[in-house]
Structure formats: structure tokens, C-alpha cells
Structure 1
Amino acid sequence: MRSITPELTEELHNQIPDVKKIKSSTPVNVDTFRELVEHIAKLSYVNKDHMLFFRGQANDYVNKAGNSTFYPSIYRGDYVSHKELINRFDILEGASRQLVKLFEEQRIDGYKDLKRRKYIQWSILQHYEVCATPLLDFTHSLRVACSFATNDNVADHAYIFVFGLPYITNRISINSEHDLVNVRLLSICPPRALRPHFQEGYLVGTDDVTTGYETKTELDFHNRLIIKFKIPNTTSFWGTGFSNIPKESLYPDNDIIQDLCSQIKDLADKELKSGELGDFLKAWSQLEDYINNIALNFSKRYLPLRESIKILEVNYVIPSDLFREIDNIRKFRNILVHTPIKVKNNDIVKHLNQVNDLLNFLRNK
């Protein structure tokens, strides 16, 4: 995503002289919700090129360089290997398929849209905390952000982060100049999904970036950070006329989409992330990575896996029968990710052993 240089008011500029160091700056202390609203009003005025969005957190998470960091959940971790990233996207793809299946079976409003739009699938899975996705939660409501920051927070303070994002134009706004996609949950979620309507939620990610990127920092939303605020975790913060939104209101009961997502989360936790299926996906990621790296010596560029396998056969790295075996495992992997419930454990173990044998063969080769 493209980085921005925030505009600060004179009052805030006195506290943070170098706006290029916003991500490593000390959060600005704010005593009341009224004072916070006044800061946001002024920031909105001076940052005319950006629409302001918020995140409320109990902590300010910083990396080794001392910078606040805001990665979508699928990219989080000090070091995420390529094969681990592929495994996470495999889990996401499997969960997406199950979501579409359940929506279609129960004829949930909007299931046709859900079926053809991956960003809608990812948004629901992210917002209902089913599995890791390339999207990050934001809200356009300052009150919601403050409530998230203070609910279930036992510390004396909480943090409000303000981000500058492109103006939204549609339910799913894609800005190619800034390489960002912004999904308005109120517009894309079916009316039976209650949670987004109480949270005024948005999901934002980098457009068309999945497992391939030049540097991981291009995926960190500290590139869009305008300011950090530190608020007291006390009832006095709200003052007269304002109040915290209780957790039971932000996470309402009798949400049918929450019930569906709970089923998928069970599947993701029990079948996609663990046991023989998880072992197979990890081993397959290793094999895929290994094949692509060997093929790179011949092609000088990254190719789709099947083309990479063919290059190994043409250049006598593997015999023809292994080409067919690897390709069959590739097809099995696709079935496994798309409809994991239909695959028997015996088949997974069989293909896992094949993958490990192929890895040993190629390493010895």
C-alpha cells in the first residue's frame, strides 16, 4: 500500500514535531471523549485527501524497531515463511468454501453475491473471527473504537489509532493508486448478520496481494497512520452525555451468521489446522516451494506450479511418472482445500506419505 504523510494541527504538531515518525511517536494523551472528538474534527479538516477511520486497542503493539504495527491477521508474526503463508491461505480458502456452502444451503440473503466475491467471504470470516484473513478491521465510529479499546481491558489506559484511507465510493471500494480495498460491512453483509450493524465495521486490505509481496512492511497499516491517542480507561473519560457501548451490544445475541461462522470455525480449528490434514498442507507447501525454486533455475521467473513441474520433467530433473504423481497430488490438494469434509483420513495419510517421499527424492537429487 502507498504510505501517506499526515497533516497535524498546530497543537498536535507541537507534541510530534516530525510527522514522518508518527508510527514510533509517543501516543498523545487525551482526557475525555469530548476532547478526542474535537481533535478528530480538526484532523478531518486538515487531512482533506483522506477519510478517517479508527481502531481501538488495549495495547500499542510495536515491532523491534519501536514502530506501532497493524498487520492483517494472516501476515502476523515476526517471521512468516512462504510455506506457512500458503498454509494460512489454504485454511482461508477452505473456510471460504464452507461459508458459501452454508449460505447457499440455507438460502441466506445475499448468498449469490457471497458466492462470487472473495472480499465478501473474507470480510465475514474476518469480522466473525473464523480464521486469519488479509483484511484488517476498522470502524468509522469513534465511540465504537473507544468502546472496543476499553471493554475487557484491565489496564489504566487504552489506545485509539487514527488512519487516513481513500474515500469510499461503493460497497467494495478498490483504489488502485493506493493499492487498497475497503469493504463496507453494512452494505455487503446480509441483514441477518447483526454484528456489523452495531459495530459500523469496515474491512481493509491490500488489493490483489496474497502470498507474493516485495517487502512485508508494505502490508503494515502503519503506512496509513495519522495519529495515536492514549485515553484513560475510566468512566470519567466519557463525561456527561456520552457512554461506553457494552460488549453485549457490540456482540449481539441471536445472530444467525455468528452461529454459521461458529460451525466453520470448528472445522477450521479441528480439520484444517490440525491432524493429518494440517500436516499434509504444510508438507505440500514445502514441496511446492521446493519445485518452484528448482524450476526458477531454468525459467528465471516464477511460474504456476503445473508449469514448474513440467519444466523439471523436460530438464530431466524428474522422470515422467513423477510428473504425473505430483500433478495428481496437486489435484488432490485442490479437492482437499475446497471440500475437506469429503476427503477420508486414509487418503490424506496416503498423499502425505507421497509428498514426503517426493521431498526426499528431490533433496537427494
Structure 2
Amino acid sequence: MEKIGSQKIWSFFDSNPSSRPAANHTIRGGTGHEVKSYLDLARKVAELQFLNRDHVLLFRGQSKDHMTTKGNSMLKASIFRNDGNKVPSKATLEKRFQTLKQAEKLLVHAYGTAGLKGAERLRRNRLIRWSILQHYEICKTPLLDVTHSLRVAASFATAGNDGQVAFLYAFGVPNLSGAVTASSEAGLQIVRLSSACPPDAVRPHIQEGYLVGEYPEIPDYEQQSHYAFHEMDFGRRLVAKFRFNPQTFWASVKYPPATHEALYPSAQRDPLPEIAKSITETISKDIA
């Protein structure tokens, strides 16, 4: 993907309370701009969206800021993430892509068997298959989970986080259009998850989920080998990195976090969790 910043990017970074023009490597390499509360975060994100009007901001929350060897935030799709502390080997990547293709076939078959809406579109569109596999954590894919909801992203950053720090990342992407947005200029594809899943799947709607990936997409190891490893890092689209204390961030009763039950609604009619469980068990047996 292309690095953000051909136009001026405004950001909050270091301890300066004001937004300023910033280079991508400055944002990624910093410790993150500290915010005290959800309202503080929301105000600063609103300012960034106003100043960076050529981009739409999408968000991701994490309990840890994973770093490259150069000390920059590393935000990779799950299939390209490090194997321990090492860059994944050719054998590891080939195995991951093989598992992905197997999971795709199982998903298409399960959709057809269950008679779910959108089965034909699923068969035709690899990106939609990947989106479902990634969101329901079935296997590693070339996509990264993000959300349009600041509250949802911040809630994921703090959920089960007993430490003193959490991180919120704001990514700048092209203007969104329809279920799938593809930008050759940015080298990105963005999938609106609610349009990829059947209407009975409530979770993607609640989480306001999106998936981002490379454009053109990377379906196998051979295609992946044409890219430098640092190119496949969504840190290249980072507009801002915020850090906060998860123990005090939600102190105001006016701005509570989304609960686990809210983020993962137990809709009895939602067929995808059961399908996801079945596929995960099948590919786990084959890997073993």
C-alpha cells in the first residue's frame, strides 16, 4: 500500500496539546499522544477529521503497541504477522495461505448448506470470504479489522486490560463508497462488513466493522513475494496514535465502554458463530 502523506497530514503526537502537521514515521515512532478520557479522545479525533478532510478515519484499539525493529508501530494483517519475534518464513507463509484456501472452501460449502443469503456473492468474491473468516477469527487472512466507531475501538483496547496503558489508532483511508471500496492510488481495499455478512449476523452491525487490505489483493505466497515486508503494514496509513490509562479512561458515567455482551450479541438466529466454530475445528485437526 502507499504511505499516507502526499498531502499534509495533521496529527497529535508527543506531549504537545495542539495538532500539527506530521510525517508518518513521526507518528508511528512516537509513544502515542496521551488522552485522559473518552471525551478528550473524541474531541481530538473530531479535530483530526476536520483537518484531514481528504481522508476518512477508521479506528483500531489494542492493549499493546507492537513495534518493528526500527521502533515504529507495526499493524499488519494477521497472515503477515511475525512468527514469535521473527519475520514469518516462506514455509510459514505458504502454510498460512494453504489454511486460508481450505477455510474459504469450507465457508462456501457451509453457506450453501445453510441456505444463507449472499451465497452466490460469497462464491464469486474472495474479499468477502476473507472478511468473514477474519472477523469471526477462523484463520489468518490478508485483512486487518478496524471500525468506524471510536467507542467500539476504545472498548476493544480496554476490554480485559488490567494494565496501565491502551492504544487507539486512527487510520486515514480514501472516501468510502458502497460495500467494497478499492483505491489503486492508495493501494487499499476497504470492506464494509455489514454488507459482506447475511442480515442475521448482528455482530458486524453492532461493531460497525470494516476490513482493510492491499489492492490488488494478495491471494498467495507467490504474489506476496513481490512486496517488501514493510510495505504490507497498515502503520503506513496511520494518522494518529493515542495512548491512555484503561483504568481511568471511562471514569465518566456519561461515556461508558461497550460491554462484552454488547460487542458480541448472542443473537439466536445468527448462524455465523456456529459455522465459524465448525470450520475452525476442521482446519485445526488438519493442521495438527
More helix by share: 1
Aligned length: 272
Deviations 1:120-162 (A, max 9, x none): 1100000000000000000000000111011111112211111
Counterpart among 112, 117, 131 of residue 109 in structure 1: 117
Alignment gaps of 5+ in structure 1? 275-365
Q: CA deviation at 1:11?
A: 3.7
Deviations 1:163-216 (A, max 9, x none): 101111120111111111100001121012121111110000002234223301
SS in structure 1 of the partner of residue 11 of structure 2: coil
Q: Distance in 1 between matches of 2:106 and 2:36?
A: 46
Partner of 2:227: 214
8 Å Cα contact 1:31-1:237 kept in structure 2: no
SS in structure 1 of the partner of residue 204 of structure 2: helix
Assess, with a 3 A threshold, how the Cα gap between structure 1 residues 243 and 103 changes in structure 2: closer, same or farther: same
Partner of 2:10: 7
8 Å Cα contact 2:162-2:247 kept in structure 1: no
Q: CA deviation at 1:262?
A: 0.5
Q: Distance in 2 between matches of 1:20 and 1:197?
A: 33
Q: Which has the larger radius of gyration?
A: 1
Counterpart amino acid of residue 175 in structure 2: Y
Residue 76 (structure 1) aligned with residue 84 (structure 2):
no
SS in structure 2 of the partner of residue 41 of structure 1: helix
Counterpart among 266, 270, 282 of residue 285 in structure 2: 270
SS in structure 2 of the partner of residue 226 of structure 1: strand
8 Å Cα contact 1:238-1:244 kept in structure 2: no
Matches within 5 A, 1:1-365: 1-5=1-5, 6-8=9-11, 11-13=17-19, 20-77=25-82, 78-207=86-215, 208-210=217-219, 211=221, 212=224, 213-234=226-247, 237-253=250-266, 254=268, 255-271=270-286, 273-274=287-288
Q: CA deviation at 1:228?
A: 0.9
Assess, with a 3 A threshold, how the Cα gap between structure 1 residues 206 and 19 changes in structure 2: closer, same or farther: closer
User: TM-score under structure 2 normalisation?
Assistant: 0.90
Task: Report % sequence identity.
Answer: 37
Q: Distance in 2 between matches of 1:227 and 1:264?
A: 36
8 Å Cα contact 1:7-1:46 kept in structure 2: yes
8 Å Cα contact 2:4-2:24 kept in structure 1: no
- Superposed CA RMSD: 1.7
Q: Distance in 2 between matches of 1:205 and 1:19?
A: 19
Assess, with a 3 A threshold, how the Cα gap between structure 1 residues 163 and 18 changes in structure 2: closer, same or farther: closer
Q: CA deviation at 1:39?
A: 0.2
User: TM-score under structure 1 normalisation?
Assistant: 0.71
